[in-house]
Homo-oligomer: A and B are copies of this chain.
Amino acid sequence: MSPLSHFDESGASRMVDVGAKAETNRTARASAVVRMQPDTLALVRDRGVAKGDVIEVARLAGIMAAKKTADLIPLCHPLPLTSVKLDFAFPGADSLRIEATVAVFARTGVEMEALTAVTVAALTVYDMCKAADRGMTIEAVRLEEKDGGKSGHFVRAPS
């Protein structure tokens, strides 16, 4: 059997049948980093100076994107999310860290929703700052933690 469950035994893609799985509370937490010039980061961080709040726009874009995950990722199940939140931090002079936490009571998990939220939030930061800094990059998009469901609790090993 293929370890890739999105394919059947003949190699055809499918939306995996989760009908027999139990509805449980499921959460996922993902993160991403946007790397940019320190001057650009200052514009993002010092909202008063820049006259405009990049982070709030990115936050809303991330929340709304979480709700569109099944529309974007072909084999994802549509899920009635119960909670989405995004946090932003400045771990260094050139980097903005975005973290999303998503929850649902459903038959399958919300890793993709959390990853989609941080990714679209990061793209929104790029969009808003690109006039100032076209060389920005998005780095380290990854799942930090997930809970609920048969596969149990996952926490990313420190790197």
Q: Which residues of A contact B (CB under 8 A)?
A: 2-19, 25, 32, 43, 47, 50-54, 56-57, 59-61, 63-68, 70-87, 103-107, 111-112, 115-116, 119-120, 122-124, 126-132, 134-143, 146, 154, 156-157
Q: What is the count of identical protomers in the complex?
A: 6
Can you list 12 residue pairs at the A/B interface with Cβ under 8 Å? A2-B51, A2-B52, A6-B57, A11-B53, A12-B56, A13-B63, A14-B63, A14-B85, A61-B74, A63-B74, A67-B70, A111-B134
CB pair B19 A73 closer than 8 Å: no
* Chain A binding surface SS class: mixed
Q: Which of B3, B53, B59 contacts A131 (CB 8 A)?
A: B3
Question: Taking CB as reference atom, which chain B residue is nearest A58?
Answer: B74
